Structure 1
Amino acid sequence: MLSKDDNETLVRVGPGTTMGDLFRNYWIPFFASKDLEKDAQPQTVKLLGETLIVFRDSEGDVGLVDNVCPHRGAPLIYGRNEDCGLRCVYHGWKFDTKGNVTDMPAEPVKSRLKERVKIKSYPCVERNGVVWTYMGKEDEATRPPLPNFEWNMVPEENVVVTFRVQECNWLQALEGEIDSAHAPILHGRIDQKGYINDWVAARDLRPTFESVRQDFGMSIASRRVVDEDTLYWRVNQFVMPFYSMVPPQAGEFHELSGHAWVPMDDENSICLMFSYRPVEPLHPKSVKVFNEGYKGRDGGHHSVGSHDNQGPEVPYGRYVSKFRRETGYHFDYELQKTQWFSGLPGLWVQDAACQSGVAQIYDRSKENLCTSDTGIAMTRRMLLELAGAFAETGKLPDRFDDPDLYMVRSVSLTLPKEEKWTESGAEHMKAEIGKDFGYVL
């Protein structure tokens, strides 16, 4: 369990908090490029406790700026996105993507006020359909390079990336994914249909766990018995500052997957999910299910039809899901009795309901951790250590600014019982563009 003070340290992410200030040293993926059109209506977002406006100008550049006009405090969400800038509808002040004032219609022509006024803005970079921002120091020379995550660097046909809002703090969400003990239980069926019942992990519901601290974060390995000579290892990865990676499964529809659990504020996260294959296109059926769901259920991804668009004035309004606390996640008791162990409609919905359903910030001092929570406990300990060092001296994690630190894969390995996963899996856990899995799934 975590003490209340330690819990507060890890989940508070606004300006001036330890974790919030730590996160500002990293590039943050926060929006889908395809959802920002030139000169289209701006969208409200919330990142690390700050309400901001994102828009794409006439030349295709993305701006991330304050949501309030610095003149008289009018809301910029109603701004006119036109002629390479965002114009406030109150008095016509106009701002470019860098926050500079480019026009003040109500001021004298010779006025120099616009040289002294600037709206808060954060730099944005796009790569492979994802918009990233950096919310740290303004000095461009001190920014780290964009992290080389493999999922954001493979060809377009090899990857699917989706966004949704999750109603809990970032750590609750992340801990749900680095815990692989729950997967064959929560996601299981009672009608003996579907691939989940044939999964190797479902044959041994009492795995043994080992965790190893890495430069990038933490490797959490679960060991299951296949037979007297063979073990099945699944290694989930926690990658600083808020990424989780899940191992591939065997079979036709294999892929690597994971999430960025980006803190909107203390109680909500924007969940970016990625699924990809390193050297070949994703299976067409996988792409269809990811984007459209299947028979009213969602898989690992939030399907397009499951959004409940709340409008551009609501932070991440277009990414709000119909599966949320307010709607009871569409829990179906009849299905729980006849088909699905959980009665919840889809993989990510099952996870989100368990991670967020009780409280957006759960009191972790009430937990009773067990052996399967080894990875969670070690990850918390590591985060508290890093947070403490940062708070006391400003020290950042080693190699945090090395873009190749993030070239990491999760793995699922079937090994003779005498082989160590740390040795046999070391090379397979290193991502490299153009390199296939390298082992039999």
Structure 2
Amino acid sequence: MTEKMTQRQRAEAAMRRQWFPVARSVDLATPQSATLLGERLVVYRTESGQAVVQDARCPHRGADFALGKVHGESIACPYHGWRFDAEDGKCSHVPSLADQCKIPPQASIKTYPVIERFAHVWTVLEDPVQALYDPEQWKGIEFEWLAAEPLHSPTGVAVAIENFRDVAHFPFVHHVSMGPTPQVVEPLKVRREGLDVVMERPLDAGEGEWANDGDCIMFYHCAAPGLASITYDYERLGKRIVAGFPSPMAYDDVKIFWGVANARDFTGADLQENLRIEEMVYLEDMPIAAGIYPREIDWDGVFVEHSVPADLFTLNYRRAFREFMERAVPEVVAVPQGQRGVA
């Protein structure tokens, strides 16, 4: 017998067709280990400077390429030294063979598409349903990026994005970093255009460290499934960014890659200082997010939730995520009974 794919399964299948970060660009002096939706990966940079993402398991005896070494345009297994080309993943050298013509012809590892953007290395497991994020409000501006130390959160991508974009939790979770802030949320002016959700608000830093930086408009932007950013537009300082890109190691377990950026002509605090302040906010969120249950949005409607006008942004993000699922997995296909995921 077969049964219909659950919405959870559909969300997971859809994310296999979406770009996610798997490493910081700054870390590629040595091969890096990564996991994306259960797939074990290695991320490294070749001698020519190309970032590469490939399967982490050596097809000889299963060693982890993240422990290996880069040789020119290939990576060598740490166990027996077998080398695999960065471009196509084919085995190019077996040290134990006197005759390299006898390399097993099927010996290869899968190579994934790569884009470097926002100081991170991005990849996609299957045919991408859309191009990598390219926010309209950043176009035409030269930004300098600083990638933060990634954070682990035992949540799904959508829960992580909602936490980043929710505004009603500030007085309860961020009273240290932001100081006292109003508990009543003003009517939110939210606009959704397909997979993008945007909102503008004036910065109210309360008693926080940003309180004296002058007039500022915050441009909130989410792009389903996994980009959330704030572009701060200061009247006298210029523009800066904080952006988060939660990457699903598993369906409900993410590594949050994130960073800050300053426009080249920004005259406020430097990148290190902006990262320090934004990290305070992130770290306040972590223990609260870790206790959210279920750990990912309940796309199948098993749990009861109640919403209020302050949730308008996150409700629109959920609509955008559902549209993303429709684009990536347009039909609810049948799956063998017994393989249904737990909602």
Higher helix share: 1
Task: For 1:277 and 1:110, locate their aligned partners in 2 and report how far apart those are by CA, in whole Å.
Answer: 51
How far off its partner does 1:69 sit? Answer: 0.9
The letter of the residue matching 2:164 is E
How far off its partner does 1:208 sit? Answer: 2.0
Task: For 1:66 and 1:204, locate their aligned partners in 2 and report how far apart those are by CA, in whole Å.
Answer: 48
Does residue 348 in structure 1 map to residue 282 in structure 2?
A: yes
Q: 1:101 aligns with which of 88, 91, 94?
A: 91
The letter of the residue matching 1:148 is D
Instruction: Report what 1:405 is aligned to.
Output: none
- Number of equivalent positions: 310
Identity over aligned residues, as a percent?
Answer: 20
Task: For 2:47 and 2:58, locate their aligned partners in 1 and report how far apart those are by CA, in whole Å.
Answer: 20
Alpha carbons 1:261, 1:272 under 8 Å: kept = yes
**Where does 1:331-342 land on structure 2 (aligned, <5 Å)?**
none
How far off its partner does 1:101 sit? Answer: 0.8
Superposed CA offset, 1:10-67 (max 9, x none): 5xxxxxx433443344433332222111xx3x22111122111112233322221112
User: 1:161–1:214: structure 2 CA closer, same or farther, 3 Å change rule?
Assistant: same
Q: 1:118 aligns with which of 103, 108, 131?
A: 108
Superposed CA offset, 1:78-124 (max 9, x none): 32333442222333311122312111233462645444321112132
How far off its partner does 1:362 sit? Answer: 5.7
User: 1:60–1:179: structure 2 CA closer, same or farther, 3 Å change rule?
Assistant: same
After alignment, is 165-174 or 84-93 more displaced?
84-93
How far off its partner does 1:164 sit? Answer: 1.0
Instruction: Report what 2:241 is aligned to.
Output: 256
User: 1:69–1:248: structure 2 CA closer, same or farther, 3 Å change rule?
Assistant: same
Task: For 2:286 and 2:42, locate their aligned partners in 1 and report how far apart those are by CA, in whole Å.
Answer: 27
The letter of the residue matching 1:165 is L
Instruction: Report what 1:175 is aligned to.
Output: 162
Which 5+ residue runs of structure 2 have no aligned equivalent? 205-215, 333-343
Q: 2:50 aligns with which of 48, 61, 82?
A: 61
State TM-score, norm by structure 1: 0.59
Q: 1:34 aligns with which of 14, 26, 32?
A: 26
Q: 2:10 aligns with which of 14, 18, 32?
A: 18
Alpha carbons 1:32, 1:130 under 8 Å: kept = yes
Alpha carbons 2:198, 2:222 under 8 Å: kept = yes
The letter of the residue matching 1:287 is L
Instruction: Report what 2:278 is aligned to.
Output: 300
Instruction: Report what 2:198 is aligned to.
Output: 219
Which 5+ residue runs of structure 1 have no aligned equivalent? 11-16, 226-231, 294-298, 302-345, 395-441
**Where does 1:260-409 land on structure 2 (aligned, <5 Å)?**
260-278=245-263, 280-281=265-266, 283=268, 285-291=269-275, 293=276, 299-301=277-279, 346-358=280-292, 361=295, 364=298, 365-388=303-326, 390-393=328-331
State TM-score, norm by structure 2: 0.74
User: 1:53–1:281: structure 2 CA closer, same or farther, 3 Å change rule?
Assistant: same
User: 1:55–1:247: structure 2 CA closer, same or farther, 3 Å change rule?
Assistant: closer
Instruction: Report what 1:135 is aligned to.
Output: 125
How far off its partner does 1:195 sit? Answer: 6.6
How far off its partner does 1:349 sit? Answer: 1.1
Instruction: Report what 1:320 is aligned to.
Output: none
Instruction: Describe the SS at the equivalent of 1:218.
Output: strand
The letter of the residue matching 1:132 is W
Instruction: Describe the SS at the equivalent of 1:379.
Output: helix
Task: For 2:134 and 2:289, locate their aligned partners in 1 and report how far apart those are by CA, in whole Å.
Answer: 28
RMSD: 3.7
Alpha carbons 1:258, 1:273 under 8 Å: kept = yes
